[in-house]
Amino acid sequence: MSPRTDFVTALLGIWFGVGLMIDAWAHSNGAELETFFTPWHAVFYSGFAVVSGWIIWQVWRNVRAGRQGLAAVPTGYLAGLVAIPAFAAFGFADMMWHTILGIETTIDIFFSPSHLGLVVTMMLIITTPLRSAWNAPDVGTRPSLGRLLPALLGLAFATTLVSLFLSYGDAMQYRPEGIVRALSMLQNAGGGGPRGGGPVAVGPGAAQVAVAMVITNVIMLSPVLFLVRRWLLPFGSVTVVYTIMVLMPGAQAAFRNLPILLSFVAAGFVSDLLIRWLRPSGERRAAYWAFAGLSAFATWSLYIGVASSTGGGLPAVPELWTGAPVIAGLIGLALGALFLPNAVTAEPVPRSRRAS
């Protein structure tokens, strides 16, 4: 497909993704929902309708041009095309589920079988531009930001779906004062309270925040490492991806956690600087591993730094706020080793292509 076509696919995918964010906001902050037919679902399902119609239209254009069977499906669009009827079926199942069993209002919303089917098929649809760009001959290994933007948008919105369904372990949803309070507590099997005694503070505890940081670290860094192994990302790529990633937890918390969200946007910018400095790629394993560890360390250093500066000062337990970024960096290094255990040898350019 042409870059313009992929860009339209990505834009319509944004409609689809934003519709889900609005629905997540309504479930987290609105009145108790008692029906499937809500304005939020209207935005969500209309987004599905327009992006699906656009994908089907691209296939139909090829059919009219004389292509038959799978040859009529543009490269990268097959999984999205197959996911369209599957998503519609899960949508109908979700409506019946809510009609018979009611509307989920707490953590059970993330375990509903119909919701899980919707999120998987939705991911296949909105990542269509990524699959299209993956093998596009004009992208190369050093694409421009504009050419790679549809792929970045698709992958970033797909990652927001993962963060939504793991939001019970999402460190981005906490407010600065809650993070400082949690990292000022020591917890054990008998419960925990502020260091030096006193009542247990209301809000997340140290263990809850620590686990959420690990989960969120993996969710945010994995798609970046996936992209870095394939391309030398143009400057601004990680900033774009992280800016989109923070929208879902922001919507769920009604953006009352804005300082924390901005810390991740800043972390994306720092990661872009690291890419420019280290030039990590599948062929440069040491640089790839260094980027994975340093990016994670910088992200969570900024997280604790912003929380401390806007949430009442440094946490009272120094082992927690000094060690947490180190653990994040080590996890990032481990992810780098898993994504790239051995350097990838560049394929030789065929003689015919060198001649051209």
Domain assignment of residue 354, yes or no: no
Do residues 199 and 310 touch, judged by C-beta distance below 8 A? no
Q: The domain containing residue 313 runs over which residues?
A: 166-346
Q: Where is average pLDDT lowest: 16-25, 266-275, 328-337?
A: 16-25
The answer for residues whose C-beta is within 8 angstroms of residue 156's C-beta and 6 or more apart is: 223, 240, 241, 244, 245
Quote the pLDDT of residue 29.
Answer: 67
User: What's the CA gap between 214 and 324, in Å, rounded?
Assistant: 9
* 122 CB burial (10 A radius; 0-12, 13-18, 19+): buried
Q: How confident is the model at residue 356 (pLDDT cuts 50, 70, 90)?
A: very low
Domain assignment of residue 130, yes or no: yes
Domain assignment of residue 161, yes or no: no
Specify whether 185 is located in the same domain as 325: yes
Specify whether 271 is located in the same domain as 323: yes
Specify whether 111 is located in the same domain as 184: no
Specify whether 129 is located in the same domain as 183: no
Quote the pLDDT of residue 192.
Answer: 39
Summarised one tens digit per residue, pLDDT across range 261-319 is 999 999 999 999 999 999 999 999 999 999 999 999 999 999 999 999 999 899 999 99
Specify whether 341 is located in the same domain as 239: yes
User: What's the CA gap between 270 and 267, in Å, rounded?
Assistant: 5
Domain assignment of residue 156, yes or no: no
Domain assignment of residue 245, yes or no: yes
Quote the pLDDT of residue 9.
Answer: 94
Specify whether 87 is located in the same domain as 216: no
Summarised one tens digit per residue, pLDDT across range 185-241 is 875 433 433 333 333 335 688 999 999 999 999 999 999 999 999 999 999 999 999
Specify whether 109 is located in the same domain as 243: no
Distances in Å between the Cα of 23 and the Cα atoms of 16, 44, 109, 146, 287 are 11, 7, 12, 30, 40
Specify whether 126 is located in the same domain as 67: yes
Domain assignment of residue 297, yes or no: yes
- Cα angle 300, 248, 218 (rounded to 5 degrees) comes to 40
CA atoms within 13 A on the CB side of 292: 28
Indicate if the alpha-carbon torsion angle 250, 102, 99, 37 is positive or negative.
negative
Specify whether 100 is located in the same domain as 195: no
Quote the pLDDT of residue 86.
Answer: 95
User: What's the CA gap between 4 and 352, in Å, rounded?
Assistant: 29
Name the average pLDDT for the chain: 86
User: What's the CA gap between 68 and 104, in Å, rounded?
Assistant: 44
Structural domain ending residue among the three candidates 118, 146, 174: 146
Task: State which H helix or E strand residue 90 sits in.
Answer: helix 78-101
How many beta carbons lie within 10 A of that of residue 87, not counting itself? 23
The total number of structural domains in the chain stands at: 2
Q: How confident is the model at residue 349 (pLDDT cuts 50, 70, 90)?
A: very low
Structural domain ending residue among the three candidates 117, 146, 175: 146
Do residues 182 and 172 touch, judged by C-beta distance below 8 A? no
Do residues 349 and 306 touch, judged by C-beta distance below 8 A? no
How many beta carbons lie within 10 A of that of residue 195, not counting itself? 12
Comparing CA positions, the residue from 330, 157, 135, 342 lying closest to residue 231 is 135
Specify whether 141 is located in the same domain as 225: no
Structural domain ending residue among the three candidates 146, 175, 197: 146
Specify whether 329 is located in the same domain as 211: yes
Domain assignment of residue 174, yes or no: yes
Domain assignment of residue 20, yes or no: yes
Strand partners, 191: 188
Specify whether 187 is located in the same domain as 142: no
CA 237 to centroid of chain Cα atoms: 13
Q: Which two tokens stand for residue 143?
A: 């694409």
